[in-house]
């Protein structure tokens, strides 16, 4: 019996490869703008980040998420992401 392949994703802040389920996906699309994708299946350009405050701070400081999504992120979006990470 074949073993199921686990999809791996790279964190935009620290560069570590981790399983897709352990990462937080932030999506930019035309309909909703920038949102947190809990399902991992929303359409649009996505960026993955570890569920860790250190990675979030590093990404915010170096504007890694903004660069990955080709847009500027507001402070409100960073607060929303940080509240989700702290859960």
Q: Which residue in this structure is represented by tokens 């703008």?
A: 33
Q: Tell me how far the alpha carbon of residue 33 is from its chain's centroid.
A: 14
Rounded average pLDDT over 8-24: 95
Q: Where are the domains of the chain?
A: 8-85
How sure is the predictor about 1, in pLDDT bands with cuts at 50, 70 and 90?
A: confident
Helix, strand, coil share of the chain (percent; to 5): 35, 30, 40
User: In this predicted structure, what is the pLDDT of residue 76?
Assistant: 93
pLDDT score at 33: 92
List pLDDT tens digits, range 26-68.
999 999 999 999 888 999 999 999 999 999 999 999 999 999 9
Please tell me the CATH superfamily of domain 8-85, with its number.
Answer: YlxR-like (3.30.1230.10)
> Which backbone phi and psi does 29 adopt, to 5 degrees?
-140, 170
DSSP structure class, residue 78: H
What's the DSSP call for residue 22?
G
């Amino acid at each position: 019996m074949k073993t199921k392949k686990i999809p791996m994703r790279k964190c935009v802040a620290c560069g570590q490869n981790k399983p897709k389920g352990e990462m937080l996906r932030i999506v930019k699309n035309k309909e909703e703008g920038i949102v947190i994708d809990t399902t991992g299946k929303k359409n649009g350009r996505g960026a993955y980040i570890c569920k860790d405050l250190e990675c979030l701070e590093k990404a915010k400081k170096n504007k890694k998420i903004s660069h990955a999504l080709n847009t500027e992120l507001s402070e409100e979006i960073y607060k929303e992401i940080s509240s989700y990470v702290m859960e």
